Structure 1
Amino acid sequence: MSKIKNKILGSVILIVTLSVTTISALAYEQFSSILEAQALREDTIHLEQTTNQMNHLIDDVQKYAANMVNDELLQNFAEQLEYKSTYDELSAYRDVVIQLTKFNVLRDYLESSAIVRSDGKVFWSSLYVDPYFERLLQEDWYQKAINSNAKSGFTTPHIILDPDNRKIVSFFIRFDPQYGGVLLLNIDYSAFESLFQYLGQSFDQVAWIGPEHTFLYKQGISVEQPSDEMLTTDGQGISVIKHEKGYYMASAFEKSQWSVFTFTSKSRFHEWVGYILRYWAIFLALCLVLCFLLFLPIISNIIRPILQMTKAMKQVSMGNYNVQLSFRSNDELSVLKNGFEKMLADIQRQMDEKVAQERWQRKMSAELLFAQINPHFIYNTLNTVVYLARKKNFPAIEEMTESFIGILHDAVNIGDNGLYVTVQQEIEIINHFVRIQKYRYADRFELIWNVEEQAIDNAIPKSMIQPLVENSIFHGFAEKESIGHIEIIIRKRSGRLLISVRDDGCGMSKSKAQAIMDGTLPPVSRPSGGMKQIGLWNIRERIEYLYGQEGRLVIRSSEQGGTKVTVLLPSWNISAE
C-alpha cells in the first residue's frame, strides 16, 4: 500500500491541519453559549415529557375509578349495610372481591382496592376482614383526604401492610349519595417514583411537591420544606427562572394539587458529553467538506477503485455475495481485488456446506428426540396389557391392541414430512392414547377438546401434544382422589398456532416449571430401571431444533393448583408445502 499511502498522506496532512486550525478558531467563542441554549431546550423537553406522562397517569386513575364506582355490583354492596346473616354478608363480599380483582389486574399500577361503607366497615380486595384496615383508615393520610369533602382525590404517600410493607398513594372516590361509601384504589408508589427517577438523570435536583407544600419525592435536595423557587408555577406550562447558579424549572400537573420542580446548574451544561460530540460531528463534517473541495482534483483517480470496493463490501454486509469488481489497477489494489473475490467464493462455498450440514443435523436430531418417546409409551402400554390378560378381560385387550397398533403405525412413519402431522391426525392418535390410558386409570380423568375448525389442517410436530396429556395423567392425577380434567385448546392467532394443555391436577413448583422452560432441568431416570421422564424436556428440545427462535414453550403451574402448558408454533399446512 506504499504507493497509495505516499500519494494521499502528504496532501491530507497539510489540508486537514489548515482546516482544523481555521474552523476551531471560528467556533471556539460560540461554543459555550450554543451548548447552554441547547441544553436548556433539552431539559424543557424532558420536563414536558414527564409532565405529560404524569398527567396521563392521573387522568387514567380518575377515569378508571369513575368506571369502578359505576359498577352495579359494587354500588349495591356499598348501599346494603345489613344482611340476614354473616354468611350472606361474606358471600356478597366474596363476589365483590372477584369483581375488584378483575378491575385490579387491568392496571399494573394497582396494588389493591377497598370499599369503605357508610357504616365504617372496610372490605379489602384481599378477601379477609381485618381490624388492621379499619385502624389504617384512622391515620392522617386518609382522614385529611376524606374530610376535605371532595368528590375524589389523591392522598399523601403512606405505608400499608398487604401483605408486607408497601409504599402506596391512594385515590379515593365517593359513590353517589344514594349508595353511600367510598371506593379506595391503592396505587404502587413506584409508578410515580419511576417517572421522577428518570427525570433525575437529566437534572441536579428533582422534587415532587404535594398539597400544603410538602415533598412527596425529592432527589439532590437536603432541605425539608420547598423554597420559593420550587413553588414558582402559574399552572400554565413550564415556568423557567434563570439564576446565577443555573436554571429553576417548575410545572403543575393537571387535575391534581401536585407539581414538579427541577434545577440544573450551569456547570452541568459544560459536562454533557453529548453536546460536545454533536459539535465535533459538525466540526468534522466541515473539515471533510473543505478537504473534499480542495483535494478532489488530486485524489479522484485514486479513490475510484477504493469506492467501488467499499460499495461491494456494503453489499456483502447485507448478505449479497454475488458482486463483481470491474476496475483495473497496476498497484496493490489489484492484489486486494483478487483476494477479495477469492474470499467471497470461499465464504459462499462454506455457507452452502454449513446450511446443508445444519439441515442434516437438525433433521437427525429431531428424529432421535422423537424416538425417545416410543420406548416410554410401549413400556407402560404393555404393562397394562399384561394386567388385563391376567384379569382375562379380552374385549379390553382387543380394544387396547387396536389403539396401540394405530399409534405404532403412525410412529414408524418418519420421512421428510413424517416428522409432522396435521392437527386432525394428532387428535386421532391422542384419542387412541387416551383410550389406552382409560384402562390403566379407570374413572380417574376426563379429556375435553376445544379445537378451532380452521386449525384442523395445520401442521404440528408428531407427538407434540401426547406427552403433555401423558404428563397430566401420570403426574397431575397420580395422587389425586377426585376425577381430573384435561382440556386441550388449539387456536390460530395472527399466523401462529397456539396449543394449550390444561389440567387441574397436583401441579409443580414454579422453580421447576421455569427450569424446564430454560432447559436447565435435564431428563431424569425413574428408579428400578424404569423409563426416562422425558416428556416436557423432549418437547422443549424438539421445538428448539425444528423452529429455533420461532417456537416457544410456556409452563404455568403451581403446587396443588394445576398446570397449563402452552406451545406457540408458526402456522402452516402440510398440503401447502
Structure 2
Amino acid sequence: MRKIKNKILGSVILIVTLSVTAISALAYEKFSTILEAQALREDTIHLEQTTNQMNHLIDDVQKYAANMVNDELLQQFAARLQYPSTYDELSAYHDVVTQLTKFNVLRDYLESSAIVRSDGKVFWSSLYIDPYFEQLLQQDWYQKILKSNAKSGFSAPHTIMEPQSKKVVSFFIRFDPQYGGVLLLNIDYSAFESIFQYLSKSFDQVAWIGPDRTFLYQQGIEAYPPEAEVLAADGPDIKVTKHNKGYYLTSTFDKSQWSVFTFTSKDRFYEWVGDIVRYWAIFLALCLMLCFLLFLPIISNIIRPILQMTKAMKQVSMGNYNVQLSFHSNDELSVLKNGFEMMLGDIERQMSEKVEQERWKRKMSAELLFAQINPHFIYNTLNTVVYLARKKNYTAIEEMIESFIGILHDAVNIGDAGLYVTIKQEMNIINHFVRIQKYRYPDRFELVWNVEEQAMGDYIPKSLIQPLVENSIFHGFSEKESVGHIEIIIRKRSGRLRISVKDDGCGMSQEKARAIMNGTLPPARLPSGAMKQIGLWNIRERIEYLYGQEGRLIITSREQEGTKVSVLLPSRQHSAD
C-alpha cells in the first residue's frame, strides 16, 4: 500500500512541477519585456521630474533677475558713470549694496550679485571694490557673455573668491540700453548639483550638458553618448535612444542652452528579472512543499480504508468475525465496507455507522456553508485592484491585496480546528472585509467596534458576525445617499455573550423581521451576501444546530430608520468543535 501512496504523491508533485514550469517559461519572455518597458517608463518619469525642477529654477532666476534690472535705484546707479567725488560714489554704492542684499536674501540659491557698469567698473554686493573682481571678469566665462550680445543667459560653472573659494553659475541680464551695464547673479552651483545628484540614484550615468556639448556635471560617464537608434520621443522634451548596451534618455531645458542625458544599462533590467527568477524558484519550492503537506494526509485518508479492509479480511479468514471497520468514506470503498459488514451480519454496526455518517455529513455541511467564497466578490475585488493600478495608487493596492489574502487564508482554514474562532480573530477578518469594501464604496459607510475586553477570547462560530455587516453595507445603505454607520456591540454577562450589529440604513418591516426570526421566510427570498452565501436565515439555522435552545437570533428594525440584529450565545473560552 505504501507503493500506491508514493505513486500518487509522486504523480501529483510531478504534475504540479511541470505545470508551473511550463507556465513560467511561457510567461518569462513576455514578462521580461513588460518589466523592461515599465522600468524604462519609470526612468522617463524620473527624468521628467528633474527637467521640471530645472525648468522651474531657470524660470525663477530669469524672472527674479528681470525684476532686479527694473529696480529704479539699480538702473540709476548703472546709468551714472560720473560723481562729484569718490565719497558720493561710495555713498551711492552703499545704497545699491543695501538694495542688492535685500534681493539676495529672498533667494536661497543666490550666493552674491554684482553690477558691471558700461565703463567696466564692477560693484559687488559685498560693499567693497577690489581689482580681483575686474580681473575675474576677464575670464572666459564672462568674455563669452560679452561676445554673445544676448540680452540674458547663464555662464559655465566657475569659481569665485568671496571670501573663500566657491563654485557658482552666473546669470547675466543687461539693463536697458538707456542705462547700460550688466547685472550678474552668482547662483550656488550646489543648487543645480543637488538636482542631478538625486537623479544619479536612478541611473547608471548622468550628465548635465552645456553649449557646445561641454560637461557641466557628470557622474559615471566620460564622453557624449554615441549615435544610436531613436526609439521614441516622449513629448517635446524627452528623447529615448536605444543602444546595444542600454538606453539613453535626453532632455532639454526650457529657455536655456542646457540639456541632460542619462544612461541605464540592460544589465540593470535583467538584475530585476533575476530577482523574479529567484522568486519563481522559491515559489516552486513552496508549491512542492504545500503539495506534500496537503496531499499526504489526503492520500493517507484514501489508503487507510483499504488497509483496514485488508486487516479485517485477514481476521475473518482466521475465524474472528467480531471485526469493525472505523473509516468513513463517500466513494466506492464505502460500498465495499457496507457489503463486508452485511456479510458478517453486523446489523447493529450498520445502524451505528449510518448515524455517525449522518452526523459527519451535517457537520461538513455546516462547515461548507460558510467556507465558500462568492465569485462575485473575487471579481469585484480584482476589478477594483485593476482600477487602482491604472490610477497608480500603489498604497491602496497593497492594502487591498493584504486584506484579500487575509480573507482567503480564513476561507481555506476549514476543518475541525476551524469551525470556531475567537472574537478577536473574527474582528480581524471583518476589518479585512470592510477595508476592501471601503475602497469599492468610498465614503459610503463607517464601522465602529464596541467590544468588551473580557469577551475578546471567547469562541464563536466562524463567520457569524461578518454576514450581518455585509447586509448592513449592501442592503442597509443601498438606497441611502448619506454616509451610513455600523456599530458592532459585544457584551459578556452572566456566562452569556450578546453580539449586536446595528446600522442606520433602510431597515425592513417588522413582519419580515419576525418571519426571519421564526424561520418562516424561505432562504431564497433573503438577499444574498456579497462575500459568502450566508444570510440571516442561514445564521439562524447554524445557531439552532450548534447551540439548540441556548442560542437565539433577535431582529429589531424599522423601515428607513435602521436595523439591529442581536445573537445570544453561551460564553465559551475554548473551541467547541
Shorter-chain TM band: 0.3 to 0.5
What is the TM-score of this pair, normalised by structure 1?
0.48
Based on CA coordinates, which of the two structures has the bigger radius of gyration?
2
What is the TM-score of this pair, normalised by structure 2?
0.48
